[in-house]
Amino acid sequence: MERNTYRTSQLVEILGVSRDALRYYEGQGIVKPNQNETNNYRQYDDYDIYALLVADFYKKRNLSMKEVRKLQVGSGIGELENLLETKADQLEATIRNQKYMLQKIKETKVFCEELKEHLNQYSIKQFPIYEVLGEFSDFTAFLEYPTILDKMDLMKEDILSKIMRKFTVDENGLLDSKMLVVEKRAAMQRENMECYLQYSNCIYTIVEDGRYQNETNDIKYEVFESTLKWGKEQGYKLKGVAFVNTRLITYLENKERVFLEIFIPVEEK
């Protein structure tokens, strides 16, 4: 029985695919159209259309063209079921990661909005809940960074969000510092209470650092001096520590602008 044949332009109209997509499917071995010897046009038949419909069916179920081609060769229902289960697991993991990324995007967007209110301004704010997972000596102690990598999921977490600088301070200013590897939590677990940073009241501000603003100058002493001065004027007593997070980095004139979030815990009045 002779089968109907279709030109590329007809398949584009029938299936709503582009010419490039048809070439791709052909390159992947999904279809193998004949070529008209007189005009060199590709000729697709009914089976080619059916193969393309099946390929689209499984493409929408997250199968690769290589996997579709393997199905075309032949496979049992059990094998297909196992493949679909694997695809479901992979897609669920992707969705979880995408939700996590969406959360990070929203948090960073909120911080951009908060810049308008808190940049170089002082207020009292509660310290977020952070669990301390480890520590290392300094931000530029890059050979110690494996300490961070051991405590994070490299597929979805970034290093800058995992580190926090902790300063020891007194009324005269900064004494020393170290880097903490942290994880922000919604709540504390009772069995690990000692691993959490918890402070009800902190002097809070956001400052700009980086080469665009300060070239190579270290602004931390100037920043803490002005912050501590404000706290003293308001009658707050320090708890002896301070914390700094890197929350946003942008660039102007090929120089980074780094926006730092500063928390200095104080005693309740």
pTM, rounded to two decimals: 0.75
Mean pLDDT check: name the lowest of 9-13, 134-138, 215-219: 215-219
Place of tokens 């700009």: 208
Q: Two tokens at 26?
A: 């052909």
Q: Is 212 exposed, middle or buried (0-12, 13-18, 19+ CB in 10 A)?
A: middle
Average pLDDT over residues 146-168: 92
Torsion angle of alpha carbons 49, 16, 84, 64, nearest 10°? 90
> Residue 166: which pLDDT band, with cuts at 50, 70 and 90?
very high
Reply yes or no on whether the pLDDT at 192 is more than 80.
Answer: no
Check residue 188 and give its pLDDT. Answer: 79
Give the span between the Cα atoms of 32 and 47, in whole angstroms. 10
Torsion angle of alpha carbons 205, 162, 247, 170, nearest 10°? 20
Check residue 216 and give its pLDDT. Answer: 62
Mean per-residue pLDDT of the chain: 89
Higher per-residue pLDDT: 191 or 6: 6
Check residue 172 and give its pLDDT. Answer: 75
Domain ranges for the chain: 5-74, 119-265
Element (H, E) at 250: strand 241-252
> Residue 217: which pLDDT band, with cuts at 50, 70 and 90?
low
Reply yes or no on whether the pLDDT at 224 is more than 60.
Answer: yes
Check residue 218 and give its pLDDT. Answer: 67
53: amino acid identity, one letter: L
Mean pLDDT check: name the lowest of 98-112, 119-133, 210-224: 210-224
Check residue 12 and give its pLDDT. Answer: 92
Same topology between domain 5-74 and domain 119-265: no
Q: Two tokens at 126?
A: 């509660």
Check residue 156 and give its pLDDT. Answer: 87
Q: Can you tell me whether residue 20 is helix, strand or coil?
A: helix
Give the span between the Cα atoms of 227 and 41, in whole angstroms. 76
Q: What is the pLDDT of residues 117-131, one digit of tens each?
A: 999 999 999 999 999
CATH topology of domain 5-74: Multidrug-efflux Transporter Regulator; Chain: A; Domain 2 (1.10.1660)
Q: Two tokens at 38?
A: 């007189």
Reply yes or no on whether the pLDDT at 161 is more than 90.
Answer: yes
Q: Rounded to an integer, what is the distance from CA 91 to the centroid of its chain?
A: 17
Which of 3-17, 199-213, 237-251 has the highest mean predicted lDDT (pLDDT)? 237-251
Reply yes or no on whether the pLDDT at 189 is more than 80.
Answer: no
Q: What is the pLDDT of residues 16-42, one digit of tens each?
A: 999 999 999 999 999 988 887 777 788
CATH topology of domain 119-265: Multidrug-efflux Transporter 1 Regulator Bmrr; Chain A (3.20.80)
